[in-house]
Amino acid sequence: MALNLELLGLLACPKCHGGLVLLPGQDGLLCTACAVVYPVRDEIPVMLAEEAAPLGKWTGSQPEKG
């Protein structure tokens, strides 16, 4: 089952309330304004600010440690 793209259109960044872009691998949602990625785990977006990873440290479904 793939992510529901209609539902994704309703989601917003919890920090700035801006729009999100689904990454090509469908493993994260990018907020271009904040330059952070919210992970998608088991096809469920994790929309918690503390789970977001800076775009530069994003390596896939899990942020890079350190």
pLDDT at 64 over 80: no
Residue identified by tokens 């539902």 is 7
Residue 53: give its domain's CATH number.
Answer: 2.20.25.10
- CA atoms within 13 Å, Cβ hemisphere of 16: 12
Residue 63 lies in a domain: no
Q: Which two tokens stand for residue 14?
A: 């919890």
Residue 28 lies in a domain: yes
pLDDT at 1 over 70: no
pLDDT 10s digits, 8-49: 889 999 999 999 999 998 899 999 999 999 999 988 899 999
Report the domain count for the chain.
1
| pTM of the predicted structure, to 2 decimals | 0.84
- The DSSP bridge pattern shows strands 36-41 and 44-45 to be antiparallel
pLDDT at 54 over 90: yes
Residue 37 lies in a domain: yes
Q: What is the DSSP letter of 51?
A: G
* DSSP H helices in the chain: 5-8
Higher pLDDT, 33 or 59: 33
Residue 66 lies in a domain: no
Q: Tell me the residue range of the domain where 14 lies.
A: 5-57
Residue 62 lies in a domain: no
